[in-house]
């Protein structure tokens, strides 16, 4: 028996906290959670006091997007109706499936240098300080 899908924050007994689209299911007298594209949300505070959020995949070394979690491994689960969080999650999932979860490096992201050039610049800065 599968219930309707819902968005939720899940706190696992390991201490990990993930956000995902969840579909509970019963199998062999135990409850399992099918989680789709689970992410970790980190709060980032800028120097000016502006708060932002960083979204990362829960498991970074896999391309799978669906995982099964036994309910006995869950400490707590909270269904989310936070529209802002759901929209951020949906945009993240859409973006990660569109570009294969790989960002292309560009000069707009910051200064790019090879190791030797960076080493030389850092040594000059160290000697001049």
Over the chain (129 residues), the average pLDDT of each successive run of 10 is 80 96 91 94 86 90 91 94 92 79 59 74 83
Q: In order of start, what are the domains of the chain with their CATH numbers?
A: 6-128 (2.30.30.100)
The rounded distance, in Å, linking the Cα atoms of 5 and 12 is: 19
Which contacts qualify for 31-34: CB closer than 8 Å, 24 or more apart? 31/70, 31/71, 32/68, 32/69, 32/70, 32/71, 33/68, 33/69, 33/70, 33/71, 33/74, 33/77, 34/66, 34/67, 34/68
Q: What is the pTM of this model?
A: 0.69
Q: What per-residue confidence (pLDDT) applies to 99? A: 60
Helix (H, G, I), strand (E, B) or coil at 99: coil
């Amino acid at each position: 028996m599968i219930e309707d899908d819902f968005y939720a924050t899940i706190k696992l007994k390991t201490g990990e906290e993930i956000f995902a689209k969840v579909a509970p299911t019963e199998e062999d007298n135990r409850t399992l959670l099918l989680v789709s594209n689970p992410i970790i949300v980190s709060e980032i505070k800028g120097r000016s006091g502006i708060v932002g959020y960083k979204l990362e995949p829960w498991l970074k070394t896999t391309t799978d997007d669906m995982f099964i979690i036994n309910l006995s491994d869950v400490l707590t689960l909270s269904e989310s109706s936070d529209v802002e969080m759901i929209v951020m999650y949906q945009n993240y999932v859409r973006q990660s499936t569109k570009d294969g979860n790989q960002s292309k490096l560009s000069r707009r992201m910051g200064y790019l240098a090879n190791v030797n050039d960076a080493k030389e610049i850092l040594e000059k800065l160290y000697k001049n300080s």
